[in-house]
């Protein structure tokens, strides 16, 4: 159990625009000190609005936002101990790098003698030491982002907010920046909150992730927990890939529930926290990497399905094999190309068995 204190408490916050559009709907959660926290969701889910409310650029219609124990819902952004790196970086074009980074210190009355030292320290932290006299139009996109980071971090805020920090970068730079941000967070030791629509970013960088949909928070958990134990279809589908089957609960066998799925027969699963009633419709799912393909029929301890290979999508390090059964249902299987010959072992038209351990099945009641 994490005993770190919550640095941000969001209490039943709702935000409505123009009286009709509800961007954020009764969101309640706590973000702990020192965490790397991610708000993840598709566009329009309210994550950016929530971030802006934490920063102070929007005021909640209902509910409160507490920062380090104090209600700051109505405190203007220039008086919150929080700083933000904007999606467009917003590096002031009419000032050079040094003045940009020094700006936040200057306007809050930090003595001049201290400013120079702190600015240089911040620039070194983001590996832009010596760039002080350059102007923003002489910098690349990635460099400007680091200026924005330095500018925010030099103020030593309690929380750093980042709005889609990697969306404007190309693939290679994005990978490098993911590691860089995590390194920075450890070096500085403060709480980072990022907003992203890219699940890979969230999974690789964050300690905990809040998955949002249509203004509501669906699940808040660590990446592994979200991936292996999603609490609803939306989360299971949004994070990673899955094969979904519709079934019906037909009974209980000891500590497990029995789900009847056409084509799969009976599946026995641990119910976990899910509320299912006998006779109710449930979804069960399995992730492609948990499925094994083989020519011989697997044992009865596994959930199995027989079908024909309909498509193979080759990605170099992995292949996605699509197997279609007699009823027309397709299941995708992730096949690691461990040896050069692996990919050639499976061809379109092959008749194969897919199977997985029932322990790896996801039970999705909603």
Partner 1 sequence: MAAIGIPSRNGAAPRRWRRSEPIGPLDYGRRLWLRLSVGAVLLFLYVPIITLMAFSFNDSRRNIVWNGFTLKYYEKALNNDSLLLAFGNSLTIALISTIFSVLLGALAAVVLWRFHFPGKPSYEGAMALPIVIPEICMGVAMLVFFARIGWPANMPWPLNLSAIIIAHISFSFPFVAMVVRARLVNFNRELEEAAKDLGASEWQTFRDVLIPFMRPGLVAGGLLAFTLSLDDFVITFFTSGPDTVTFPVKVYSMVRFSVTPEVNAASAVLIVVTIALTVAAMWLQNRAGKRNS
Partner 2 sequence: MEHWRRSPLVFWATSLPPTFWLVAFFLAPLAIVWVLSFGEKQGLIAIAITWTFDNYGRALNALYLEIFAKSMWMAAVTTFICLVVAFPVAFAITFAPERWKPVLLLLVILPFWTNLLIRTYALIAVLRTRGYVNFTLEWFWDQGNWLLTLLGLGEAQLLGERFEPLTLLYNNFAVVFGLVYVGLPFMVLPLYASLDRMDRSYIEASLDLGASQFRTLFTIVIPLAKAGIISGVIITFIPAMGSFLTPDLLGGTDSQMIANVIERQFKSANDWPFGSALSFILMYATFFALALRAMLSKSGSAMEAG
Q: Where does this chain bind partner 2 (CB under 8 A)?
A: 55-57, 76-79, 82-84, 86-94, 103-104, 107-108, 135-137, 148, 151-152, 155
**112: part of which helix (H) or strand (E)?**
helix 112-125
Comparing CB distances to partner 2, the nearer of 74 and 366 is: 74
Q: To the nearest whole angstrom, how small is the minimum distance from the Cβ of residue 136 to partner 2?
A: 6
Query: How many Cα neighbours within 13 Å face the side chain of 59?
Result: 7
Contact (Cβ atoms closer than 8 angstroms) between residue 15 and residue 52? no
Query: How many Cα neighbours within 13 Å face the side chain of 121?
Result: 12
d(C-alpha 257, C-alpha 248), whole Å = 10
Q: Which does 347 bind (CB under 5 to 8 A by kind): partner 1, partner 2, none?
A: none
Q: To the nearest whole angstrom, how small is the minimum distance from the Cβ of residue 192 to partner 1?
A: 23
Q: Which does 88 bind (CB under 5 to 8 A by kind): partner 1, partner 2, none?
A: partner 2
Q: Which does 64 bind (CB under 5 to 8 A by kind): partner 2, partner 1, none?
A: partner 1
What DSSP string runs through 132-197? Answer: TT--GGGS-HHHHHHHHHHHHHTT--SEEEEESTTTTS-HHHHHHHHHHHHHHHHHH--EEEEEES
Q: For partner 1, which stretch binds (CB under 8 A), given 73-81, 168-176, 197-205, 256-264?
A: 73-81
Residue 61 binds partner 1, judged by CB under 8 A: yes
* Greatest distance between any 2 Cα atoms in the chain: 77
Comparing CB distances to partner 2, the nearer of 88 and 297 is: 88
Q: Which does 87 bind (CB under 5 to 8 A by kind): partner 2, partner 1, none?
A: partner 2
d(C-alpha 324, C-alpha 351), whole Å = 10
Among 71, 124, 228, 294, indicate the residue that binds partner 1 (CB under 8 A).
Answer: 71
Among 34, 77, 298, 358, indicate the residue that binds partner 1 (CB under 8 A).
Answer: 77
Q: For the stretch 12-25, what's the b/e string if a residue is b when 16 or more beta carbons lie within 10 angstroms of its beta carbon?
A: ebbbeeeeeebbbb
Write down the residue that tokens 């096949």 correspond to: 335
Q: To the nearest whole angstrom, how small is the minimum distance from the Cβ of residue 77 to partner 2?
A: 5
Comparing CB distances to partner 2, the nearer of 94 and 172 is: 94
Structure token pair of residue 318? 């992995």
- Give the count of residues interacting with partner 1 (CB under 8 A): 19
Comparing CB distances to partner 2, the nearer of 1 and 18 is: 18
Q: Which does 124 bind (CB under 5 to 8 A by kind): partner 1, partner 2, none?
A: none
Contact (Cβ atoms closer than 8 angstroms) between residue 40 and residue 209? yes
Q: To the nearest whole angstrom, how small is the minimum distance from the Cβ of residue 164 to partner 2?
A: 12
Contact (Cβ atoms closer than 8 angstroms) between residue 204 and residue 178? yes
Which residues are CB-neighbours of 314 under 8 A, at least 6 positions away? Answer: 343
Q: Which residues bind partner 1 (CB under 8 A)?
A: 11-12, 16-19, 28, 56-59, 61-64, 71, 74, 76-77
């Amino acid at each position: 159990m994490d005993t770190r204190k919550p640095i941000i408490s969001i209490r039943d916050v709702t935000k409505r625009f123009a009286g009709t559009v509800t961007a954020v709907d009764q969101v309640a959660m706590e973000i702990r000190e020192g965490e790397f926290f991610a708000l993840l969701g598709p566009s329009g889910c309210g994550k950016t609005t929530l971030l802006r409310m934490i920063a102070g650029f929007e005021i909640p219609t209902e509910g409160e936002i507490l920062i380090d124990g104090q209600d700051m819902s109505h405190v203007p952004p220039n008086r919150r101990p929080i700083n933000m790196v904007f999606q467009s970086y917003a590096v002031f074009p009419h000032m050079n790098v040094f003045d940009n980074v020094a700006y936040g210190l200057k306007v809050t009355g930090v003595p001049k003698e201290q400013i120079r030292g702190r600015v240089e320290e911040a620039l070194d932290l983001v590996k832009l030491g010596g760039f002080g006299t350059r102007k923003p139009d002489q910098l690349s996109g990635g460099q400007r982002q680091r200026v924005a980071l330095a500018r925010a971090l030099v103020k030593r805020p309690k929380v750093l907010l980042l709005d889609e920090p990697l969306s404007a970068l190309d693939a290679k730079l994005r990978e490098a920046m993911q590691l860089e941000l995590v390194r920075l967070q450890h070096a500085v030791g403060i709480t980072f909150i990022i907003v992203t629509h890219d699940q890979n970013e969230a999974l690789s960088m964050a300690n905990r992730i809040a998955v949002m949909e249509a203004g509501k928070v669906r699940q808040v958990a660590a990446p592994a927990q979200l991936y292996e134990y999603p609490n609803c279809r939306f989360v299971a589908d949004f994070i990673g890939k899955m094969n979904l089957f519709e079934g019906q609960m037909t009974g209980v066998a000891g500590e497990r529930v029995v789900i009847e799925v056409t084509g799969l027969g009976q599946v026995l699963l641990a119910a976990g926290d899910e509320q299912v009633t006998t006779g109710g419709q449930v979804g069960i799912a399995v992730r492609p990497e948990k499925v094994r393909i083989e020519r011989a029929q697997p044992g009865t301890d596994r959930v199995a399905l027989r079908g024909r290979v309909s498509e193979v999508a080759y990605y170099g390090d992995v292949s996605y094999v699509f197997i279609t059964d007699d009823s027309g249902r397709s299941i995708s299987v992730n096949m690691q190309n461990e040896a050069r010959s692996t990919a050639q072992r499976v061809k379109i038209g092959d008749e194969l068995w897919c199977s997985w351990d029932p322990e790896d099945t996801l039970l999705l009641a909603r």
